[in-house]
Chain A
Amino acid sequence: MKSIYRIISPFVIATLSVFQLALFPMTSYAASLTALSDSISSLKTSTVSNHDILFTTPTGIAASANVTLTFQSDYSIAAALDYTDIDVLDDGVNVTLAAAPSGATWGAVRTSATVITLTNGSSAVAAGSVVRIKIGTNATSQSTGVRQITNPTTTGTKTVTIAGGFGDTGTISSQIVSDDTVAVSATVPQSISFALSANSISFGTLDSGAARYADTGTGSASDTVAHTLAVATNGTSGYTVTVQGATLTSGGNTITAVGASPAVSSVGSEQFGIYATKAGGTNATIDPTYATASSFGYDATAATATTFSTGTSATATETYSLHYIANIAALTEAGSYSTNLTYVATANF
C-alpha cells in the first residue's frame, strides 16, 4: 500500500499542478516594471537636470497606493521641490497633483534629498498602464516647474529605483559623465567688397542750350548711367559710402554744383550734379541729395566728403547706378573742365 502511494503521489501532484495552471491563471500581486527609461536633460556631473521617467506597471496602481522614486544617494533633489515641479501622466493623461492626495488628486512630495513619493488618489491606475513622471522645468501641466534634481558629483552608472506600496518595482540606470556637451565654435571673418564699373567718364562738350550727361564715351544728350558702384558687406551695422571732390573746374573757373537740394536740369544755368538708383541688396538708403530720379545734387567739395548712401545691416551686393549732369550758362568761361571724385565705402562692423 505504501509503495502504491509513492507511485500515485507524483501523479496526483502533477495533475493538481496542471489543473491549477489551466483553471486558475496566475494572479500577479506585484511584478517587475517594464519599458523603463529615464531621459535626463543633462548627463553632466553636478548639473541640475530634468527627469522624464517612463514605465509600464503590470499591476497598476491602486487607489491610495504610493509610488516611491529613490534616486541613488549622490543625486540631490532640490529642497523646495514640490508637486508644482512634477507631472504625472497615466497613459498620456495628466493627473492632478497636490501636496497630499484628496479625492482623485494625487499627492506628490519630496520625502528626502533622494526620494520623491507619489500617492494615488481615489482612481486606480489600470494594470498595464504606461506611467510617465516629469520632474523639473519639463513639468508643465499645472504650472511650469522651476526646481530640478542635481546630478551626482561622480561619473558612472547611477540609478533611480521605483517601488512603493503599489507593489511593482524597477530600477533605471543612467550614465553620468564628466561633460555631456560639445562646444562648437566658428568665425565669420569681416568682409566688404566695393567696386566702380568705370574710373573715367566724360560729358563731352557742354552747351548752354542743352544739358549734357556723362558716360564712359564722349558724353550724352540724354540722361544715362555713367557708371555703377557695387557694395557688399557682412558688417553688423552695414556700411557708408561717401563722395568727395570739387565740382567741375578749369583753372580758376568752376561750374557751380547743384548743392544739397536736388534739382531738375535747368538748361542755361550752371549745374553739376548726380543722382543714383539702387538695385539688389537689402536696406541701404541713398542720401536725399542723390536719391531723386532725374533730380541732381552735389554738396561735396574738395575738402569735405558727404554721405552718398548708408546701409544699416549686412547685405549682399547693392548696385548703384549713377547719373551725372552738367549745364552751363551763356557766360560760363570756356575751357577744359574736370574733377576727380573719390568714393569711399566704409563697413560698420
Chain B
Amino acid sequence: MRIFVGIISIASILSPHILFAALSCTTTTAAACTGGTNTIVVRMSGSANAHAELPNQSTAGYANNVICCSGVTGLGNNCSGTYAVVAKLSGVTNASIQQNNQSGYSDEICLSDSTSGDTVTIGYQSGSCAGYDTTVASISSVDNAHIGNSSAHSNKICASISQQALSFSISDNSIGLGALSTAAARYATGDLVGSSSETEAHQLVASTSSASGYVITVQGATLTSGGNSITAVGGTNTASSAGTAQFGLRMSASGGLGTVTAPYAASGFAYAANATTASQVASASTGDSVETTYSVRYLGNISPTTVQGSYSTNLVYVMTANF
C-alpha cells in the first residue's frame, strides 16, 4: 500500500496542473453531486465498462455512478451558450458512447460555463489528461464504447475551463492639440484646447488572465486636413522639435505586467502607424489579471509651410489577447 501512495505522488508531480485546476471531475453518487458548483455531466450504470445516460435522466441504476464536475462558477451541463461536447451517446439512456468527433450518435453530453469569457475545452488522450484541468471519465474506445470512471479505461475524456478574463478601455475618445505653432510644441488634452507642456491626453487600461498576455496596437493616419497632413514622427523615438512638422505619441505604463513597446516608450515621440497599417504600442507577455494603465501623450509641431486648416485623425486602438 505504501508503494501505491508513492506512485500517486510521482503522478502528481508530473501533472501539477491537476492539483491546482479549478475544474475538477470525479465519480460519485447523484445524491452527493448537488449544491455549489456541482454538476452532473453523465450518469453511468457502473464505475467501469458501463452504459451511459444523459444527466437529465433518472434511471435508478445509474444514480450511484455519476460524473460530477465542480470548481468553476457558472459551470453547467448545457449544450448551449459557451460549452463543449464531452461525448455523444447512442440514446438518452442505456447508451453506448463515442467521442465528439465521431458521427452517428446524436445525444450529446456537454460541459458549459455561463461566465462570460470563460471557455470550455474537451479533448481525448490515451493514458492521462496531462495538460488539462481534469479527467472527466474514460471510455473503452473511440466509438461504440463503454464508459467508466477516470481510471477505468485508457482512453481519457479530458476537460479544461479557461477563464479568459480580459478588459480594455479608453478613458477619452476625443482629444485636441488646439492651435499649433511653429514656435512651440503643443500637447493634446482631453478638453481639446491643448497644452504647451507635455501632459496626459488619455489612458488605456488593459488586463487579461491569459497566460500569454496581450498586445495593443494603434492604427490611423497622421493629422490630416484635406490633402494636407502633418508629418508623422515615424518609427524612431524623436524629441520635440519646434518649427518642424511632427505628430507623435508616447506612453508610460503603471500597474500590472504591461509594458510600452519601443519606439513609444522613451522620452521622445513616435508614430509608425498609418491609415492601413497598425503599429504595436504596448504588450504584456503574460497575464495576471491586474490592470495596466497606459498614460498616452500626443505631440504636435508644425513648420512654417504647414498649410493652415483644421486637422484631425481617428486612431483606432485594438487589444488582442493571446490564449
Contacts and interface: CB of A to CB of B under 8 A. Distances in A.
A41 B316 CA distance: 8
B148 to A, nearest CB: 15
A235 B305 contact: no
A20 interface: yes
B69 interface: no
A208 to B, nearest CB: 47
Interface residues of A, number: 65
B230 interface: yes
Given A234-B304, A315-B305, A181 B123 contact: no
Contact of B7 (A14, A29, A313, A316): A14
B300 interface: yes
A37 B120 CA distance: 16
Contacts of A225: none
Interface string A147-170: 000000000110101010111111
B160 interface: yes
B169 interface: yes
A232 to B, nearest CB: 6
A266 interface: no
A30 B318 contact: no
A167 B98 CA distance: 13
Contacts of B202: 182
B20 to A, nearest CB: 17
A269 B155 CA distance: 116
A84 to B, nearest CB: 20
Given A11-B3, A30-B99, A184-B176, A317 B304 contact: yes
A20 B127 contact: yes
A314 B315 CA distance: 27
Contacts of B117: 156-157, 159, 173
B127 A10 contact: no
Interface in B307-323: 307-323
Interface stretch (A186-194, A197-205, A253-261): A186-194
A39 B101 contact: no
Interface string B24-49: 00000000000000000000000000
Nearest to B317: A180
A90 interface: no
A187 B317 contact: no
Interface residues of B, number: 86
A154 B114 CA distance: 17
Nearest to B188: A184
Contacts of A39: 217, 318, 320
B124 interface: yes
Contact of B119 (A171, A179, A186, A235): A171
Contact of A173 (B164, B169, B296, B315): B164
B198 interface: no
Nearest to A192: B308
A168 B127 CA distance: 18
A172 interface: yes
A30 B124 CA distance: 5
B239 interface: no
Contacts of A346: none
B82 A159 contact: yes
Contact of A171 (B82, B99, B132, B230): B82
Contacts of A235: 307-308
Contact of B322 (A36, A157, A188, A232): A36
Given A169-B121, A180-B316, 13 more contacts: A30-B101, A31-B125, A36-B323, A37-B323, A39-B217, A163-B84, A170-B121, A174-B166, A183-B315, A184-B315, A186-B176, A187-B180, A188-B306
28 contacts: A10-B1, A17-B7, A26-B130, A27-B125, A28-B125, A39-B318, A41-B316, A41-B318, A43-B168, A43-B319, A156-B116, A159-B117, A167-B123, A171-B162, A179-B170, A181-B173, A183-B315, A184-B176, A184-B313, A185-B310, A186-B179, A186-B188, A187-B178, A189-B308, A232-B304, A282-B305, A314-B306, A314-B307
Interface of A: 10-11, 14, 17-18, 20-21, 24, 26-32, 35-43, 156-157, 159, 161, 163, 165-175, 177, 179-191, 232, 234-236, 282, 313-317, 349
Interface of B: 1, 3-4, 7, 82, 84, 99-101, 116-117, 119-128, 130-132, 142, 154-155, 160, 162, 164-170, 172-182, 186, 188, 192, 194, 201-202, 212, 217, 219-220, 223, 225, 228, 230, 296, 298, 300, 302-323
The 3 lowest CB-CB distance pairs between A and B, nearest first, are: A171-B119, A157-B117, A173-B164
